[in-house]
Structure 1
């Protein structure tokens, strides 16, 4: 078996690039929203990306694609993935891209709670419970709004923020379901195909039901779709899978905390979004809590080592 490597300069640079791509995707959708609704963008993106990814599934794996033990959980994962992006699309209609990306990336907290409940080997330690408490305090703080906003604007932003948070919950349910089903045994491109094709099948008719079918193929809309299909859904995910095959997953995962940071930066740069001080402080608490939950073993070892040398 090929051993995965520790992070080097190449892997670190590629992970920073990936976090920038993942951080800007909500901004790209929001930029094009006046011309094509977020839900329609995600539906089209998912369908085109599924067509591009399908040839990447190895011929030897085709039988797994339609096998009952993989297809049924694949459909379930696809439904969860679709609902996640339905929440994201709604969030982007009512709140900022900055808020959306930060609240969406609370998913690791809900993953940790779900696996604690389902798997004895994933029981949370005292340090992790502290991280979860910190993250939830950050979520509460980020939902506090200033009094100078009108009641209508405030209710819309809070609704959008709640949709983004629910997107994070659905992302967590997808991750937990993947971990607990036979799909954890298959190549990631197979799982990704299930998710993308399901999102297209479910979200496209949903745009008609919600009267979000109007499309104006402006320059912004075209470039947004090109970015989402080829850069976000194809290039970034292929690069991510390559990194996972060659480097230690835990080390790579540390960089994911940069994604919300880039999301806020790009939201300010390209959308002129105003980020409230309480949201910045809340985001810091959320990301710190997630880091504690994810890196609890390293924190424990570092604490034990400091006690040993003191």
Structure 2
């Protein structure tokens, strides 16, 4: 792969997915796109780039973007954001939305579904408190391939062992051959849609809670700011945004402010109410 080929791929991926690549990631590009070449019957990366430049291979364009998208996830990943949902956010919004009995949640980088299904299981466990409520969990990802896996709800032994308590495995999963399938009533709680975060998503909102974890780290500063400000636009005035442990809004936008108690939790900076700070609504 020539320098010009690498520069083209960097620009192509930035435009299509927001992914910001540096020179030190060249080995990663060569490795992942080498697999695309083999699967597509293309002899080398320079020929792949030539086909991308032609603009006549939409299937190849999709394959390149999906190959370069990181889809690392597991059930109850990092634990804290899910304890926060169960112990703080859910009680807070059950009180705040008591008149409408509706709650909308968006998992904006859902990958193979472990994050939204983790939330769905927590909601199921709270069913005694939520009778008559309408919950909507929208899960989106740029990769249609991972979304198909998420919809099926089928996971191998390694995937269900990563973060999933054994009690939940036994309660919510059925063994199918050498895989485990999540229960139909949990799958039914989540709607999966393909979505590219660098494109418009105002039509999806408004949301009470948004999980957008471990995706902004792949964007440059300008793209991060743009995505964060558009996320803010579709949050309810008292809505909550959760980012990954290595992500922050500081230095990127003034539209959001960090919760004083809970790391990774943000609210609209302009929102003022008599409600106590998010981290003080309930204790674990």
Judge same fold: TM > 0.5, yes or no: no
For CA contacts below 8 A with separation 6 or more, give which structure has more relative contact order.
Answer: 1
Give TM-score, length-normalised by structure 2: 0.26
More strand by share: 2
More helix by share: 1
